[in-house]
Structure 1
Amino acid sequence: MTQGKILEVNKLNEGSSLPQPPPSYEEATAGGSGIYPVDGESCTKFSFDDLNVRRTFIRKVYAILALQLSVTLAIVSIFTFCEPLKDYVQSNPGWYWAGYAVFMTTLVTLSCFPGPRRRFPWNLILLAIFTLSLSYMTGMLSSYYNTTSVMMCLGITVLVCFSVSVFSFQTKIDMTSCQGVMLIICTSFFICGILLALIIPLGCVPWMHAVFAVLGAIMFSMFLAIDTQLLMGKKRESISPEDYIYATLNIYLDIVYIFSFILQIFGKNRL
């Protein structure tokens, strides 16, 4: 009886301009013959669009990162090859602490506040200031080492970062789920830094600085692997495509710190 009444209503609606009633659950899902497609076309299209967004996001991050690293390499090269500039920055450490203040301010702003890092063009302006301040600090650190050591450590850094990035792209290990391991390493690094700050003025345990540098290089290499997988978005944790500035900042910071610690391990002080 009920089906007959529905058929009569449908026949009346076919000859009129009234909209068709919505299908029942059985009509919509029976054998894929309903109005709603069940062949997965919509799901496939959504996945394809999401993949395109992620690829565009990755290209944007690495394009900005390449520009940042180019600026840092240029500044480090100037500080390495220009002897008068080396003497000037070493005799005026106040500029280093001024750069450090700017570095920390922009780092906290971009890391902790989503508004500034997502608002164009302020996000790019803050990122540029951050890049210049960290590049100056890295260049001043490089001025204390001879040219051969700096060039060698640059080459080692390139190999390490390239290897870690390839590993992160290819491995099935989910590095983004290693928060517990990273917490232990960061705690050990923090304690080692406090001990080093207390021991260096006393002139004791000269190998402590090398241990600190090795631990720092390992820690930031792991951070580079984690940040790379967060960028890919194929693991348990991922970064939103809106936060391309935040993703670029993390990877750039990892690479610069890896270079700084490798320079402390293998670098030879300038005579």
Structure 2
Amino acid sequence: MHLWYLCLKIYFVSEQENHFKMNKEQPPPYPADPVPQGQPPYPVQGGFPQQQPPYPQQPGYPQQQAYAGVYNQPGNVAGAQSGMLKDQGFNYVGGDEPADEIRGFGDKAVRRGFIRKVYGILMCQLLITGGIIATLMFYQPVREYCMYNVWPFYTCLGVTIVSIIVLACCESVRRKAPMNFIILGLFTLCEGFLLGIVASRYDTEAVLIAVGITCGVTFALTVFAFQTKIDFTMCGGGLFAVLIIFVIAGFIMAFLPQTKWTMIAYGGVGALIFSLYIVYDTQLMLGGKHKYSLSPEEYVFAALNLYLDIINLFLYILQIVGASNSNN
């Protein structure tokens, strides 16, 4: 079962490269200054039409000069004013805030709304998952039915596979409400059922300990990701390579004798990997000064990333606690 969740994460990470890009390549939230650099704000107009030849020179009066257009003169006031505005970073005459600050304020407001939406979706997912796990653990008729009938397990497994493929590959579905929420809800219900079957095989005390540790670790890592100046978004390739090695090791261990200490060691490595992934995916969501970030339209994708990280962390902590309580 652990390998199934690892494969889900690997597939999701492989698709993740298509959904974020470097921050410096993102267009600003407001259109750029329409005045091209180095040119006056208005087209250069020709001077007034040449006046008729002046009257004949009268004695005692200086020769008259033809009138030249003001826009052709070197001391063009409008052009000079535009240059001063550009040098000081203002968008228009009378603007009291630099253009970069205006754009930055708009981008931060959009990003804050994106973060609130992601964490709102994530909390709903975790509450639904916790409710299903509690039902399967403490309501005996449902637990016995699921233990002796395999069709709910394989049905949920199939729905999970289809849902994750649709959410990862179909951008039009993932970004369009309410279809994205419907598919995400189906995925969450099925994942909660699968997690409930896994958790029902452990003691209640071990599950509660694992839930408490997972909550504490996730909260601490989230605060760390918000506060640290270290950019973990540049570590995506390294984390993906470590995850591939971990999955291959899991396949090999499936054919080897399993002891208490090998299970604890494997669970510890898995918990460490997904702890790093929580920090990585959180900073992808935050954007800002980090090198890479997710688009604000990818709120479902961001919530699903963090959800997979947290449930994988829970499973490996549960494996450590369960193996520690065993006598083998």
TM bracket (short chain): 0.7 to 0.9
**By how many angstroms is 1:40 displaced?**
4.5
Q: Percent of counterpart pairs with the same letter?
A: 35
- The counterpart of 2:309, out of the listed 242, 250, 254, is 254
* 4+ long deviations beyond 6 Å: 1-4, 31-35
**Alpha-carbon distance in 1 for matches of 2:124, 2:196:** 17
User: What stretches of structure 1 of length at least 5 have no aligned partner?
Assistant: 11-21
Q: Number of aligned pairs?
A: 254
Q: Does residue 1:232 correspond to 2:286, yes or no?
A: yes
Aligned position for 2:137: 80
Q: Residue by residue, what CA displacement relative to the aligned partner does 1:193-245 show, whole Å, maximum 9, x if unpaired? A: 1112222xxx4555433333222211111111111001111211101110101
Q: Secondary structure at the match of 1:119?
A: coil
Matches within 5 A, 1:42-53: 42-53=99-110
- The counterpart of 1:133, out of the listed 170, 190, 197, is 190
Q: Does residue 1:5 correspond to 2:68, yes or no?
A: yes
Is contact 1:75–1:136 with CA below 8 Å preserved after alignment? yes
**Alpha-carbon distance in 2 for matches of 1:8, 1:236:** 45
- Quick check: 175-184 or 221-230, which moved more? 175-184
Note closer, same or farther for the CA distance 1:134–1:35 as it changes in structure 2 (3 Å cut): closer
Q: Secondary structure at the match of 2:69?
A: helix
**Alpha-carbon distance in 1 for matches of 2:82, 2:191:** 60
**Alpha-carbon distance in 1 for matches of 2:176, 2:201:** 38
One-letter code of the match for 2:124?
L
**By how many angstroms is 1:187 displaced?**
2.3
Note closer, same or farther for the CA distance 1:136–1:31 as it changes in structure 2 (3 Å cut): closer
Aligned position for 1:163: 220
Larger radius of gyration: 2
Note closer, same or farther for the CA distance 1:209–1:8 as it changes in structure 2 (3 Å cut): closer
**Alpha-carbon distance in 2 for matches of 1:59, 1:101:** 31
Matches within 5 A, 1:193-208: 193-199=250-256, 203=257, 207-208=261-262
- The counterpart of 1:29, out of the listed 80, 83, 87, is 83
Structure-1-length-normalised TM-score? 0.84
One-letter code of the match for 1:265?
I
**By how many angstroms is 1:172 displaced?**
0.7
- The counterpart of 1:153, out of the listed 202, 210, 215, is 210
Q: Residue by residue, what CA displacement relative to the aligned partner does 1:97-141 show, whole Å, maximum 9, x if unpaired? A: 221221121112112221110011111111101110111111111
**Alpha-carbon distance in 2 for matches of 1:8, 1:241:** 46
- The counterpart of 1:189, out of the listed 246, 252, 268, is 246
Q: Does residue 1:266 correspond to 2:284, yes or no?
A: no
Aligned position for 2:269: 215
Q: Secondary structure at the match of 1:173?
A: coil
- Quick check: 149-158 or 207-216, which moved more? 207-216
Note closer, same or farther for the CA distance 1:69–1:35 as it changes in structure 2 (3 Å cut): closer
| Greater helix proportion | 1
Is contact 1:80–1:146 with CA below 8 Å preserved after alignment? no
Q: Residue by residue, what CA displacement relative to the aligned partner does 1:38-71 show, whole Å, maximum 9, x if unpaired? A: 8653332221111111111111111111111111
Note closer, same or farther for the CA distance 1:125–1:9 as it changes in structure 2 (3 Å cut): same
**By how many angstroms is 1:78 displaced?**
1.0
**Alpha-carbon distance in 1 for matches of 2:143, 2:91:** 74
**Alpha-carbon distance in 1 for matches of 2:286, 2:195:** 28
**Alpha-carbon distance in 2 for matches of 1:204, 1:9:** 87
**By how many angstroms is 1:146 displaced?**
1.3
Aligned position for 1:70: 127
